[in-house]
Every structure is written in C-alpha cells, then in structure tokens.
Amino acid sequence: MAMERAQVERTGGLPATVAREKLFRRILGRQPAAWLYLMPSLILFAVFVFYPLFKTIYLSFFLSDMKGLPTVFIGLDNYVRLFSSPEFIQSAGSTLLFVLYTVPATIIIALILALLANEKLKGIGFFRTIFSSSMGISVAASSVVWLFIFNPSAGILNRILSLFGLRGINWLADPNWALFSVSLTTIWLHLGFTFLILLGGLQNIDEHLYESANIEGAGYFYQLRRITLPMLSPTLFFVITVSMIDAFQTFGQIDLLTKGGPGNSTNLIVYSIYQKAFINFDFGSASSAVVVLFFCILLVTALQFKFGERKVHYQ
Amino acid sequence: MRIVKQTSLYVVLTALSLVLFFPMLYAFSASFMSAQEVLLGHFLPSTLHFENYLQAFQDVPLFRFLINSIFISLVVTFGVLAVSSMAAYAFVFLDFKGRKLLFVLFISTMMIPWEASMIPNFVTVQQLGWINRYAGLTIPFFASAFGTFLLRQYFKTIPKEMQEAAQIAGIGHFRFFMNVVLPVSKTSLVTLGIYTFLTTWNAYLWPLLTTTDELVRPLQIGLRQLQSQETVNEWGVVMAAVMVVAVPTLIVLFIGQKHLQKGLTDGALK
C-alpha cells in the first residue's frame, strides 16, 4: 500500500494517471500484486484441472478414432452403451464390493490401533512409527510384497495353511478369492495413513473431559462411547470420506496383482478406464466412464460437506 | 493392577506391530535368500545373499530409476512449496477483488479426482512433447489446492501487526513474504514438503502412462518392469528391489512422522 502510494506520487500524480490508476484498481482490486502471486496456481489449474475436466465431458459425447481423437458426435450413446455393457456393470459392482470390504475394516482396525497408541507409555513413539509405517511404503512396493505372500507355492500364506493341514488357496487366480486378496492388501496399505489421522484426532481431544469423567468413576468403555467417539466424529467422518474416495481410485494394486482378472472379478472402475483409454485407445467410451466416476466421488464429497461440516469447527 | 495393565498393553502393542510389519520383515528376509530357499519356504536365509541386490541393479537400471525418483520428488516438492505458498500469501495478506470466489474455486479442485483429467492431460503432455521428459512428471503437479489450504491456515495465525509493521518500515510484499512469512511458517512448509515428497515418490498411474522408456522412469514403474521380466523363481531379487524402493520413503516417514501427523490433522480439521 505505502509503496503503491509512493509510486503514484513519483509519477507526478497527473490527473490522467490517477484516473487510470483508479480504473485499474476498480478492475483488479486494491492490490493487483495479488494476481502475480496467484498466477502460477491459476495457470496450472486451468491447464491441468479445469480444461481437462470439461474436455473429458466433451469427449464423452463423441466417438473416437484410433488415436483417441473425437470424430462423430453421438450424444449420450457412450453412456447408454456403458450402462448396458455387462463388463461395466460388473466393474461397478466389484468397485462397490471393494469399498465395502476395505473401508469399514480399515477404519475399525486403525481406530483400535490409534486408541492403543494414544495411551501414555514409555516407548509409545516406536509403536506409533510402526503402525504408521505403511504410509511410507508405495503401492508398487507393497503390491509386489503381497504378490509374494499370495504366491501359491512359495508364499507364506499357503505355507501357514499347510501347517494346519489345509489345502492351499489360489489367492489371486481364484475368482472367489481375488477381490478379497486385493482388499487385504489395500487394507494393510491404507492402515498407516488412517491410523495417523485418527491418532491426531484423539490427541486433539481436551484432557479435562477425561479428568472429570474419571472423578465420577466412569469406566473405559463408557468414556469411549460418551467422550472419545463423539469428540472424534469429525475426524472419523473425514477419514471415511477419504478412504471411500481412495477405494474408488484404486489402480496400482490391481495392475500389479491381478490385471483385473480372473474373469474381470477385480476389474475395478479406474482399471477398466485405463484399459479402455490406454490399451484400446477408446477415449470416448473411457471418458463417459470417467464422468460417472467423477459424479460418484462428487456425491461422496458432497455428503462429507453436508454432514461433516456441522461438527467441524472452522477457524 | 497398573503393572498388569501396562504389561498387557505392551504385549498387545508388540503383537500388533509384528503382524503389521510382518510383510516388510518377510520381504526383507527374502531379499537375502537364494531362489531355492525361497521355494522351500524358509523364513530366514541361511547365508546372506547380497548378490540379490547386485542382480536387481543389473537386471534393470535400478540406479537410474532411483536417481529419477529422487529428482522428480524433490522438484515436485519445491514446486508445490513455491506455488502454494505464493497463492496462500495472496489469500491471507493481499486484498483483491473476488478473493472469496477464487478461494472456493481453489477448494473445488480438491473435489475433482485426478482421473477426471487424466485422458486430456495425457494428450496435452503428448502435444507438449513431454512424454519421457521430467517436465511431464513434475510440472502438472506444482499447483496444489491442499497445499494452498494448509499454508493459508497457518499464515492466518501470523499477527496482522507484523504486516503493518513491515508496511510502515517500507518493506515490500515480496520481501515480507520471503523474509518474514516463509521463515515463521517453517513447520507447515516441512509438513507439506514431506507429504508432497511421499505422494510423488509413490505415484504410479501417471508415470506409467508418461514414461515409455527407461530414461526418466521412476522406481515404482521400474519395479513393475523388474517384476514382469523376472522369472518366477527370482523372488529374492524382486524383494531386494522392493527394499530399494521402500527404504527411502520409510526413512522420510520415520523422521517426519510427528510433523506429518500434526500437519495433516490440522489440515483435515480446520
């Protein structure tokens, strides 16, 4: 501000200049410098987020050629075909089942870990580090490790089964087990992050609440139900939303563990989009699936805002 | 009573740690086993076969992939810190028309899943000639709504008096930003930096699409390449490569865990 005023004075403050300055400010606001600070973000968002979003919607109304370029406008035909294709219905069904397998289990296990790791003990930092460790392990690395664990002959899981005299399971090649196996990998992979967020939420709860409850002689589970869970609910809600969105977006595990098989049983939606777009180069049909995915995720986020907002305290 | 409770807690914590960390311990152990030991289902190697690591580095240009991953992750981290901190500065310290509206626009990008823009982005990057270039793996990720939001929350806690004092002293915005705002926000910058480094290091789908040769390929895709070209028996070599991929981020996580937890929780809840 001071600088700008000094500048006006230096330029002589001619009436014309002042008028132009005023006009300038009316358009850009009092501190036009703001746009310089925002410019990099705005350009990048425009090029890599907003333009492609609209382009995807546009592409979904077209047939595309071998290079993926749009050719003939076909209106909603891509959508009609999508919803009448058994593969897509199966893919959507598998994705929903996958969400159901992974989200509740991840959150319940992470919550138990967080409650345990929130106790004040010597060396608790070590356990916290171990519990959060999967956050530092990439999708690719953990999928390859689990590929080894699931291996029918060399893998440890079937070794353990054989110790009990049970027959080995073809974890990733059996259509009845594949989705379960991928879910197991995913739960393990997401535990670290979910644990870390929930632990943070627990640590933010006011100590005094527990002190007064202790004076009144309330037991552990009573406190858990009446203090901890209600106070943790905004964090829980956030974690549920993030986990659901993560589950919708699953890709790496599928690519490395099953490639969508056996018999399409693990062909989750993002993997099917990848196949449509980058293996068959059918951008039009892939775009329509992307738009469907987009609205599913939007719905989850909107629910988070509608129900989560009320309980969250914004600064 | 207290001792009983504490001991049982320790027992439970240790057991859970072992179960959760078991896959990594198993992989670590297998990375030193010969192919035969793996097939026999041993849990511990009889002798340490360090040659698995050598083999992994020979089978694919693992060293090149490692350098690529470090370079890409560092560039994205500093890119995000620069771009987000500038935007956050504008939102907190500068008064301009449409500030609220623009902030909503920024936040709305968080609701757009990355896949929604994947196909056109691939075409854009292709047309820019950025396939198999570092630019294609880094520049599209520089703008971060989450980063802007996280830093904005922190910048808002900086007293307005500091800005007023700087104005009176005739310090311009850019100097105030560089010499005052950024240094006092070091903790949030570190949190965002660790988070960005980890997510970039672990990225999978985008590098898979945009690296068709080995020149700029990051470790994750290199691991996929190694895994697909190894014969079934070479689990020791594959696990050695897994260790090379996982250990750097584990170290970053172990060092930055406290920072990350605090920063992410604040970001999630405020």
Compute the average pLDDT of residues A35-44: 94
Helix residue ranges, H only, A60-176? 77-84, 86-117, 124-132, 139-150, 156-163
So what's the pLDDT on residue B112?
85
Residue A65 within a domain: no
A27 shares its domain with A129: no
Average pLDDT, chain A: 86
Q: Would you say residue A47 lies in a domain? A: no
For residue A270, give every residue at least 6 positions away whose Cβ sits within 8 Å of its Cβ, in sequence order, or none.
A248, A249, A250, A251, A254, A293, B115, B205
For residue A243, what are the domain limits? 85-311
Please name the residue of chain A whose CA is at the shortest distance from the CA of residue B209.
Answer: A278
pLDDT of residue A64: 85
pLDDT higher than threshold 70 for residue A12: no
CA angle at residue B121 from B252 to A82, to 5 degrees?
110
Which residues neighbour A257 within 8 Å (Cβ) at sequence distance 6 or greater? A143, A146, A147, A150, A172, A181, A182, A185, A266
Distances (CA, A) of A297 to A137, A249, B61, B114, B182: 25, 9, 38, 11, 34
More confident residue, A19 or B94: B94
In this structure, is residue A50 part of a structural domain? no
How confident is residue A147, by pLDDT bands cut at 50, 70 and 90?
A: very high
* Those residues with Cβ within 8 angstroms of residue B88's Cβ, 6 or more apart along the chain or in another chain: B147, B148, B149, B151, B152, B155
Q: Are residues A26 and A90 in the same domain?
A: no
Chain B residue with CA closest to A279: the answer is B209
Model confidence band, residue A1 (pLDDT cutoffs 50, 70, 90): very low
For A270-306, the pLDDT digits (tens) are 999 999 999 988 899 999 999 999 999 888 888 877 7
Which residues in chain A have Cβ-Cβ distances shorter than 8 Å to B255? Answer: none
The pLDDT assigned to A4 comes to 46
Cβ pair B156, A315 in contact under 8 A: yes
> What is the residue type of B68?
N
pLDDT tens digits, one per residue of B29-87: 999 998 888 888 778 888 888 889 998 898 889 999 999 999 999 999 999 999 999 99
B:116-145 residues touching chain A, CB 8 A cutoff: 116-124, 139-140, 142-143, 145
Is A54 a domain residue?
no
CA distance A260 to A87: 11
Q: For chain B, give the percent of residues with pLDDT over 70.
A: 96
Residue A277 and residue A181 share a domain: yes
Asked whether the predicted pLDDT for residue A207 surpasses 50, the reply is yes
Cβ contacts of B200 on chain A, cutoff 8 Å: none
Among A105-114, A147-156, B33-42, B73-82, the range scoring the smallest mean pLDDT is: B33-42
Residue-level pLDDT at A29:
59
Taking the CA of residue B172 and the nearest CA in chain A, the distance in Å comes to 7
Q: Do residue A294 and residue B227 have CB atoms under 8 angstroms apart?
A: no
Please, how many CA atoms are within 13 Å of residue B80, restricted to the half-sphere of its CB?
Answer: 30
pLDDT above 50: residue A313:
no
Q: Which domains does chain B have, with CATH numbers?
A: 49-269 (1.10.3720.10)
pLDDT category, A7, cuts 50, 70, 90? very low
pLDDT of residue A310: 53
pLDDT given at position B110: 83
CATH of the domain at A275: 1.10.3720.10
Residues A27 and A89 in one domain: no
Please, where are the H alpha helices in A228-282?
A: 229-248, 252-257, 269-274
Q: Is the dihedral of CA B41, B45, B48, B53 positive or negative?
A: positive
Assess whether A153 and A10 both reside in one domain.
no
Residue numbers in B near A144 (CB within 8 A): 223, 227, 238-239, 241-242
Q: Is the per-residue pLDDT at A163 higher than 70? A: yes
Per-residue model confidence (pLDDT) at position A11: 45
pLDDT of A6 above 50 = no
Comparing A56 with A313, the larger pLDDT belongs to: A56
| Residue A150 and residue A265 in one domain | yes
Is A91 in the same domain as A26?
Answer: no
Residue A135 domain-assigned?
yes
Q: What is the mean pLDDT of residues A136-158?
A: 91
> Under an 8 A CB cutoff, do B83 and A41 touch?
yes
Q: Which residues of chain B have pLDDT under 50?
A: 270
Domain membership of residue A74 (yes or no) is no
CB B174 within 8 A of CB A31: no
Asked whether residue A76 is domain-assigned, the answer is: no
In a domain? residue A56? no
pLDDT digits (tens, 9 = 90+) for A194-203: 998 899 889 8
Write out pLDDT tens, residues A228-276: 888 888 888 889 988 998 899 999 999 999 999 798 899 999 999 999 9
Structure tokens at B77: 């981290």
| Residues 1 through 60 of chain B touching chain A, CB cutoff 8 Å | 6, 9-10, 12-13, 16-17, 20-21, 23-24, 26-27, 30, 38-39, 41, 43
The residues that bridge with A64 in the sheet, in sequence order, are: A70
What is the total count of domains within chain A? 2
Chosen for mutation from A7, A10, A44, A283 (greatest number of chain B CBs closer than 10 Å) is A44
Question: Does residue A171 sit in the same domain as residue A302?
Answer: yes
Among A8-17, A37-46, A174-183, the minimum mean pLDDT is found in A8-17
Per-residue pLDDT of A56-74, as tens digits, reads 999 999 998 877 778 889 8
Same domain for A11 and A103? no
User: Residue A314 has what pLDDT?
Assistant: 38
CB atoms under 10 Å from CB of A106, counted, come to 25
